[in-house]
Amino acid sequence: MVKRPIHRIVQGGVIPEMDELAEEVVISVISGDEVIIRLLATPADLDDLARGHFACEDRGDISSISVIDYDIHVEGNVKGRPVDDLLTAACGACTTGEISAPLQMVESEARFQGDINELMIEMKANQKMFKNTGGTHAAALFDRNGQLLVLREDIGRHNTVDKVVGAALKSGHKMEIMALSGRIGWEIVAKSVRVGIPIIMAAGAISSAAESLARSSGITLVGFAASQSPAVIGDLSRIIDKPSH
């Protein structure tokens, strides 16, 4: 978060003040002397961002990470993106190269035993950057009872998934139930397939491409999870014991 001068319109008048803005900068991932990935992101939890991005995009294994300002230096067997790529905060799958859909199935016995609405309330209550700026997304991992394990925020919703996956890989948390502050698009489901997350809940809607990939890979999606009538796609038994008619 950064403070910047703005003018506030109040009752027909204008007053100057300082406001908290969500920070957005170009992050460079460097291997050796070569920039292999560039993306726009919020410069927080950058080690988690790198670790999660390589896992979620199936771009190799990192053996070490060091962060210097907005540069993330990685070592390992890693694969970069096309040199012309810049992943913007709104772009999870934009590339000058080919976009490959993951083909694996997500096999899991995970069953959510908590309350969907309470889970979403818990996530929102812990979105500190959003409270201050109103300009960040969030992704969070929960256990089967709805207890919050880890939450990450970023200007880009796909970055939040990378960050929360990276945090889980570092800490050893199970990745069974992921909640999102926004919608569920194809790229979010693709990331989840690659790391084996079986249940995704989101405050927003589910796209048609996300629905198709989720069904073919065995993932359960819950859209409009913060509402009184969530929409479920996929295996209902992961969410409720017995569907009512």
Catalytic residues: 91
Residue 182 CB-density burial (10 A; 0-12 exposed, 13-18 middle, 19+ buried): middle
Nearest Cα to 72, choosing from 54, 84, 94?
54
Contact indicator for 92, 157 with CB cutoff of 8 Å: yes
Residue 135: name the closest of 191, 184, 204, 181 by CA: 181
8 A C-beta contact, residue 25 and residue 70: yes
The total of other beta-carbon atoms located within 10 Å of residue 243's CB is: 9
